[in-house]
């Protein structure tokens, strides 16, 4: 397939090929032969094809993850209204934020990552948007956003959303899917009404065991009525009081890529629970079985497994809370400076609080406690800082490790699982003192 064919509207869409089967698409477009997760093996004809398609040689082609569609093919600016994000994929749009750009206590909207499974809806009109609440409730209801604002208490809370696959890029053997490094996490300030209040107003029937969430985005295939993702929560979780149906992000309308005009925000649980472009919640008497609820999606083995081990689908369990984790946002990885610095960052642990964060600059031989703030509210990450004085010129690594209220601490090594979820290993940043 030539560059002209790729840009020819009548030719099969490259994005469709990659959405259906990235491996097959890689083979078809670039003659991929290896099972490696990187395109480092891409030589000769395959590399020449890709270079011709992007219009230049690709000095770092060895680093390109397999299945990554060169962003040069993007037909529109999918990162409009975002600043400094790294685009991993443009169909569906997936973009993460480099750690040093997540330094703010409250993540500005321009820095909030994007994780889409399908195509966002074309129409995100606040005024005509409706939310249906039905299923196992006594009074099925349809609310406009104005109804939600007038009928329920409106609350504003800082809430952490982390994608279940954040950190997947470091899995070995590699795991398929978006190769998130560190930045699929954010803590914006969300304004909305409590999911609990809305469900209780509907009259939750005693047979309800799970919620089911429906958004207005469409499946990559474009098939009418087919959902890309529909997740749910155990009813007891749904009735806790800091899950929001949000219509504002940092005091403004939601960003289109973050679910405008209405979304769920379920702090501390995999980001996939926080349905964007929310238009329906229904209650069910079974564990919800929508797209990405079943099989191995957002699930992990029910036991520790060996890296690379094959695990039967029936041995996978639904991921609930996200584990204890921290992120160093200052200094930036690879930075150069003087001997003294302030190390800063955030720490979080789903449904829990952080008890302590420790810092090391000698590869973990010794640790010093960081100053740690309380969360501004339940569900928000906690900020930490420490003044560090490095002994001499040279290369150092700053390591951070958080311990939560249940005494759980971040591990040094990845607790490997086949789908590449829940990587909460300690964050390390390199610094050079001149």
Ligand X SMILES: Nc1nc2c(c(=O)[nH]1)N[C@H]1C(S)=C(S)[C@@H](COP(=O)(O)O)O[C@H]1N2
Which range binds ligand X by CB under 6 A, 123-131, 267-275, 300-308, 337-345?
267-275
Q: Which two structure tokens, joined as six digits, stand for 114? A: 């994007």
The residue within the footprint of ligand X, chosen from 113, 143, 269, 416 (CB under 6 A), is: 113
* Residue 423 binds to Mo ion (criterion: CB under 5 A): no
Cα–Cα nearest to 270, from 227, 315, 220, 229? 229
* Residue 282 binds to ligand X (criterion: CB under 6 A): no
Q: Is the dihedral of CA 423, 424, 430, 431 positive or negative?
A: positive
Q: Give the nearer residue to Mo ion in terms of CB position, either 261 or 271.
A: 271
Helix (H, G, I), strand (E, B) or coil at 193: strand
Q: Which two structure tokens, joined as six digits, stand for 360? A: 């090391």
Q: Contact at 8 Å (CB) between 208 and 136? A: yes
Q: How many residues form the binding site for Mo ion (CB under 5 A)?
A: 4
Which range binds ligand X by CB under 6 A, 53-61, 72-80, 266-274, 395-403?
266-274
Which range binds ligand X by CB under 6 A, 75-83, 112-120, 167-175, 330-338?
112-120
Cα–Cα dist 308/168, whole Å: 14
Greatest CA separation for the chain: 69
Phi, psi (deg, nearest 5) at residue 15: -65, -35
Which range binds ligand X by CB under 6 A, 33-41, 52-60, 115-123, 334-342?
115-123
The residue within the footprint of Mo ion, chosen from 100, 115, 231, 427 (CB under 5 A), is: 115
* Residue 143 binds to ligand X (criterion: CB under 6 A): no
The residue within the footprint of ligand X, chosen from 115, 157, 168, 284 (CB under 6 A), is: 115
* Residue 267 binds to ligand X (criterion: CB under 6 A): no
Which range binds ligand X by CB under 6 A, 102-110, 113-121, 137-145, 394-402?
113-121
Q: Which two structure tokens, joined as six digits, stand for 271? A: 């980001």
Which range binds ligand X by CB under 6 A, 38-46, 107-115, 325-333, 350-358?
107-115
Q: How far is the CB of 4 from Mo ion (least distance, A)?
A: 36
Site map 253..292 versus Mo ion, x via CB under 5 A:
------------------xx--------------------
Cα–Cα nearest to 195, from 170, 212, 177? 212
Q: Is the dihedral of CA 40, 113, 97, 425 positive or negative?
A: negative
Q: Give the nearer residue to ligand X in terms of CB position, either 265 or 359.
A: 265
* Residue 348 binds to ligand X (criterion: CB under 6 A): no
The residue within the footprint of ligand X, chosen from 135, 232, 259, 261 (CB under 6 A), is: 259
- DSSP string over 89-113: EETTEEEE--GGGG-SSS--GGG--
* Rounded alpha-carbon distances, angstroms, from residue 258 to 110, 168, 204, 420: 10, 21, 28, 23
Site map 205..234 versus ligand X, x via CB under 6 A:
----------x-x----------xx-----
Site for Mo ion in 153-182 (CB under 5 A): 163
Q: How far is the CB of 205 from ligand X (least distance, A)?
A: 25
Q: Which two structure tokens, joined as six digits, stand for 105? A: 């206590």
Residue 296, sorted as left (phi over 0), alpha (psi -120 to 50) or beta, turns out to be: alpha
Site map 45..84 versus ligand X, x via CB under 6 A:
----------------------------------------
How far out from the chain centre does Cα 142 lie? 29
Q: Give the nearer residue to ligand X in terms of CB position, either 114 or 390.
A: 114
The residue within the footprint of ligand X, chosen from 46, 118, 301, 323 (CB under 6 A), is: 118
Query: Which position has the token pair 């209405």?
Result: 262
* Rounded alpha-carbon distances, angstroms, from residue 249 to 107, 265, 278: 10, 11, 15
Does the bond joining 79 to the residue before it have cis omega, within 30 degrees of 0?
no
Cα–Cα nearest to 25, from 66, 60, 65? 66
Q: Give the nearer residue to Mo ion in terms of CB position, either 272 or 403.
A: 272
Given the rule CB under 6 A, which residues bind ligand X? 112-118, 161, 163, 215, 217, 228-229, 258-259, 271-272, 274-277
Given the rule CB under 5 A, which residues bind Mo ion? 115, 163, 271-272
């Amino acid at each position: 397939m030539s560059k002209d064919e790729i840009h020819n509207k009548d030719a099969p869409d490259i994005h469709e090929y990659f959405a259906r089967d990235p491996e097959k698409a890689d083979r078809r477009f670039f003659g991929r032969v290896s099972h490696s997760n990187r395109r480092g093996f891409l030589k000769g004809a395959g590399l020449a094809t890709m270079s011709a398609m992007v219009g230049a040689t690709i000095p770092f082609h060895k680093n390109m993850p397999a299945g990554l569609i060169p962003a040069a093919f993007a037909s529109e600016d999918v990162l409009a209204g975002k600043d400094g994000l790294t685009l991993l994929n443009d169909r569906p749009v997936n973009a993460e934020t480099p750690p040093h750009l997540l330094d703010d206590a409250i993540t500005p909207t321009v820095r909030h990552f994007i994780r889409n499974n399908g195509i966002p809806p074309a129409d995100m009109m606040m005024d005509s948007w409706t939310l249906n609440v039905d299923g196992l409730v006594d009074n099925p209801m349809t609310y406009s956003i104005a109804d939600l604002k007038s009928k329920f208490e409106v609350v504003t809370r800082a809430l952490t959303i982390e994608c279940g696959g954040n950190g997947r890029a470091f899995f070995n053997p590699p795991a398929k899917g978006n190769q998130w490094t560190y930045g699929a996490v954010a803590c914006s300030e969300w304004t909305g009404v409590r999911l609990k209040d809305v469900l209780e107003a509907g009259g939750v029937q005693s047979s309800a065991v799970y919620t089911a969430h429906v958004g207005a985005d469409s499946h990559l295939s474009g098939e009418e009525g087919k959902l890309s993702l529909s997740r749910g929560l155990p009813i007891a979780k749904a009735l806790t009081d800091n899950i929001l149906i949000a219509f504002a992000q940092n005091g403004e309308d939601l960003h289109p890529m973050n679910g405008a005009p209405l979304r769920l925000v379920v702090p501390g649980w995999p980001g996939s629970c926080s349905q964007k472009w929310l238009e329906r919640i229904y209650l069910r008497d079974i564990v919800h079985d929508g797209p990405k609820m079943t099989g191995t999606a957002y699930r992990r083995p029910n036991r520790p497994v060996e890296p690379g081990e094959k695990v039967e689908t029936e041995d996978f369990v639904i991921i609930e809370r996200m584990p204890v984790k921290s992120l160093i946002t200052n200094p930036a990885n690879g930075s150069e400076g003087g001997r003294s610095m302030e190390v800063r960052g955030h720490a979080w642990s789903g449904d829990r609080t952080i008890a302590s964060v420790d810092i090391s600059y000698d590869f973990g031989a010794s640790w010093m406690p960081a100053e740690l703030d309380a969360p501004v509210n339940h569900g928000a990450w906690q900020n930490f800082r420490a003044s560090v004085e490095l002994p001499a010129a040279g290369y150092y690594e700053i390591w951070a490790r958080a311990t939560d209220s249940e005494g759980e601490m971040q591990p040094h090594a990845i607790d490997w699982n086949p789908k590449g979820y829940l990587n909460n290993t300690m964050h390390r940043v390199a610094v050079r003192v001149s």
